[in-house]
Structure 1
Amino acid sequence: MIKYYNRNSKQYEIEKVAGDKYLKWNYSSPVGLSLLDIFIKKKLFSKIYGQYCDSKLSKKKIDKFIKDFDIDMSLCKKRVDEFTNFNDFFIRALKNEARPIDMNKDILVSPGDGRLFAYENIDMDNLMQVKGLTYSLHELIGHKELASKYNGGVCLVLRLCPTDYHRYHFIDSGICESSNKINGNYYSVNPIALEKIPKLYCQNKREWSLFHSENFGDVILMEVGATCVGSIIQTYTPNSPVKKGDEKGYFKFGGSTTILFFKQDSIKIDEDILYQTSLGYESKVIMGEKIGERA
């Protein structure tokens, strides 16, 4: 059971998890863990499933998924019958009015939909994965000199589950450098897996880029792949100006994570998010929603 905080209702809610029983078995039972190590965490498994989700055969999954997880299709640009396969539905674009963006230059907005943890005054050598499990920024990006500049800063971990809108956007106007790709495994990023696999983010396939934000300084933007994520697709043009709210890219099928790092004294995260993080609860947010402000 995954409980998170809904900022709108100010209530705790239980997440509907796609493949919940499978995940628990896969990351808890001896047989499941063996299968995970031998095959499921490998690129081939996610590649095969990704190819299926790109095929016409997968279109039959769409209606059931919408019904099981109460997806509001009125927010989408396409009608249900216009999707050509499951991945086409999964990366669905939304109408502009579905995700209003606070354009105040002092306001920090969420880069996407998902469940958010926020950590202030970070120790770059002991970033929190879950209680008792940590990792380092140096290990995550493979760049020790750059990592050292973010000690004492802020780390945001936004987990996108399969039911979420799976496009991610720029938090501010500025210029983003090219994406650095790091090959790795394809573990799930669900809390069930995070509690079992040490340094999971450092083991999974991921991409990171340095974003020269106009109002929040230089920000490290990272996208982490997961089980059944066929691809991380970057749609922005490197080293060209972007505006706040512009699309940066999207994930194909699967739960995924975006991680952001800010330098010390650059931003102040909203108190309710910090408080819920201190209690061990993610806060549900949507793309464009205010999550902090310039320090």
Structure 2
Amino acid sequence: MIKYYDRKTQTYQTEKVAGEKMIRWTYTSPVGMRLLEAVVKKKMCSSFYGWYLDQRISRRKIHPFVHKFDLDLSIAEKNVKEFSSFNDFFYRKLKPSARSIDPHKDSLISLGDGKLLAYEHINLDRLVQVKGITYSLQELIKSPEVALKYNRGTCLILRLCPTDYHRFHFIDSGICEPSHRIKGAYYSVNPVALQKVEKLFCENKREWSIFHSDHFGDILTIEVGATFVGSIIQTYPPHQKVARGDEKGYFKFGGSTVLLFFEENKVRIDPEIIEQTKLGYETYVLFGEKVGVRGGSFSG
């Protein structure tokens, strides 16, 4: 059971997890772990399933998925009959009216929909995956020079579960460098998996880029793939000016994660999100929602 904090209602909710029983069996049983290492984490497995979800026949999975997780398709650009495949439905675009972007230029907004963790004054060699399990930024991006810029900075981790909107956006205007690709495995990014696989983010397929933002400094953006995520698709134009809220890319089917690293004293995260992170809870946020402001870190 995965609980998260809903700050609109100020209550804790239980997440509806796609394939929850299978995930728990895979990551907690001896047989499941052997199958995971031998088959599930391999590229071939995720690539084959991703190929199937690109085919027209996969459309039959859409209605059961929408019904089981009570998804609101009225906010999508296409209606349910217009999707050409399950993946077409999965990375669906939303109507412009579906999400509102906080209008204040000093507001730090969420890059997408998902469950958010936030860490301030980070130690580059002991980034928190879950309580008791850490990894280093150098291991994650394989570039010690770039990693060093973010010592004592701020880290945001946005986890997109399969039921979430799966496009991610720029949080500010600016210019983004090309994306660097790092090959890896395809472990789940579900909290159950994060508790079982050490340095999971450093094991999985991932991409990273530097975004030269106009108001928040140079932001290190890392997209991490997961089980059955056949592709991380970057749709932005490198070296060209983008506006706040413009699309950066999207994930094909599967749970996924985006990490943002800010230089020291560039942002202040909303205290409520920091407090929930310290308590061990993710906070549910939507694209465009304010999650912090420009400036130094909160004291204490």
**Structure 2-normalised TM-score?**
0.98
**Counterpart in the other structure of 2:211:** 211
List alignment gaps of at least 5 residues for structure 1. Answer: none
What is the alpha-carbon root mean square deviation over aligned residues? 0.5
Instruction: Supply the distance in 2 between the matched residues of 1:180 and 1:85 (Cα, whole angstroms).
Output: 29
SS in 2 for 1:268: strand
Residue 104 of structure 1: how far off its partner (Å)? 2.0
Answering whether residue 7 of structure 2 is matched by residue 7 of structure 1, we say yes
For residues 157-176 of structure 1, the aligned pairs below 5 Å read: 157-176=157-176
**Counterpart in the other structure of 1:182:** 182
Q: Deviations over 1:175-215 (max 9, x none)?
A: 00000000000000000000000000000000000000000
Instruction: Supply the distance in 2 between the matched residues of 1:57 and 1:255 (Cα, whole angstroms).
Output: 22
Residue 149 of structure 1: how far off its partner (Å)? 1.2
Answering whether residue 208 of structure 2 is matched by residue 231 of structure 1, we say no
In structure 2, give the amino acid aligned to 1:167: R
List alignment gaps of at least 5 residues for structure 2. Answer: 296-300
Instruction: Supply the distance in 2 between the matched residues of 1:95 and 1:8 (Cα, whole angstroms).
Output: 22
Residue 253 of structure 1: how far off its partner (Å)? 0.1
**Counterpart in the other structure of 1:265:** 265
In structure 1, give the amino acid aligned to 2:129: Q
Instruction: Supply the distance in 2 between the matched residues of 1:213 and 1:60 (Cα, whole angstroms).
Output: 42
SS in 2 for 1:248: strand
Q: Contact 1:111–1:168 (CA<8 Å) still a contact in 2?
A: yes
Instruction: Supply the distance in 2 between the matched residues of 1:72 and 1:56 (Cα, whole angstroms).
Output: 22
SS in 2 for 1:128: strand
**Counterpart in the other structure of 1:116:** 116
**Counterpart in the other structure of 1:147:** 147
Instruction: Supply the distance in 1 between the matched residues of 2:153 and 2:261 (Cα, whole angstroms).
Output: 7
Instruction: Supply the distance in 2 between the matched residues of 1:245 and 1:103 (Cα, whole angstroms).
Output: 11
**Counterpart in the other structure of 2:298:** none
Residue 252 of structure 1: how far off its partner (Å)? 0.2
Residue 102 of structure 1: how far off its partner (Å)? 1.5
**Counterpart in the other structure of 2:197:** 197
Instruction: Supply the distance in 1 between the matched residues of 2:142 and 2:197 (Cα, whole angstroms).
Output: 20
**Counterpart in the other structure of 2:251:** 251
**Counterpart in the other structure of 1:65:** 65
SS in 1 for 2:93: coil
Instruction: Supply the distance in 2 between the matched residues of 1:239 and 1:70 (Cα, whole angstroms).
Output: 40
For residues 76-155 of structure 1, the aligned pairs below 5 Å read: 76-155=76-155
In structure 1, give the amino acid aligned to 2:118: A
For residues 282-293 of structure 1, the aligned pairs below 5 Å read: 282-293=282-293
In structure 1, give the amino acid aligned to 2:29: S
SS in 1 for 2:245: coil
Q: Contact 1:103–1:244 (CA<8 Å) still a contact in 2?
A: no
Equivalences, count: 295
**Counterpart in the other structure of 1:30:** 30
**Structure 1-normalised TM-score?**
0.99
In structure 2, give the amino acid aligned to 1:144: P
Q: Deviations over 1:120-166 (max 9, x none)?
A: 00000000000110000000011101111111000000000000000
Instruction: Supply the distance in 2 between the matched residues of 1:97 and 1:79 (Cα, whole angstroms).
Output: 15
Farther off after superposition, 132-141 or 95-104: 95-104
Task: State percent identity of aligned pairs.
Answer: 60
SS in 1 for 2:4: strand
